[in-house]
């Protein structure tokens, strides 16, 4: 597994995505960094990940026709103990202020 570390590596990887997903990915990166600046940004397996103490917290997955954002199952801040299915990832076609605020709050919760 080849890993590149740091914000520059993550932004370079997100820069490979097509518009508008490139811009969404860059915005997601900035939300993660603002919400949990202590997380370590890395690129591995071709995806930007954000780690705490070497363990996955969240990731961004750019695709040809989508961009996805998700959490590691172990730190999933949306977990509902009574549910039989747990949301761990979402695809985005755009971002609005309410969605950005929700992502930021989830990242903060997952990173604690």
Kindly report which listed range (29-38, 83-92, 102-111) carries the lowest average pLDDT score. Answer: 83-92
Q: Percentage of the chain with pLDDT > 70?
A: 98
Q: What are phi and psi of 28, to 5 degrees?
A: -60, -40
With respect to CATH, is domain 3-111 assigned 1.10.760.10? no
- Rounded distance, CA 36 to CA 109, Å? 9
* pLDDT tens digits, one per residue of 35-62: 999 999 999 999 999 999 999 999 999 9
Peptide bond into 39 cis (omega under 30): no
Q: What is the pLDDT of residue 43?
A: 96
- Phi/psi for 89 (5° steps) reads -150, 150
Checking if the pLDDT of 26 tops 90, the result is yes
Cβ–Cβ < 8 Å for 46, 95:
no
| Preceding peptide of 20 cis, ω within 30° | yes
pLDDT given for residue 82 in this prediction: 83
């Amino acid at each position: 597994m080849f890993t590149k570390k740091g914000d520059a590596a993550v932004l370079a990887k997100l820069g490979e995505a097509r518009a508008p997903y490139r811009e969404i990915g860059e915005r997601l990166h900035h939300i993660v960094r603002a919400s949990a600046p202590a997380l370590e940004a890395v690129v591995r397996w071709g995806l930007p990940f954000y780690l705490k103490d070497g363990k996955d917290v969240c990731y961004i997955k750019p695709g040809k026709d989508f961009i996805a954002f998700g959490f590691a199952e172990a730190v999933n801040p949306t977990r509902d103990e009574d549910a039989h299915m747990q949301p761990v990832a979402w695809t985005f076609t755009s971002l609005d202020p309410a969605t950005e605020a929700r992502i930021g709050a989830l990242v903060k919760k997952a990173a604690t």
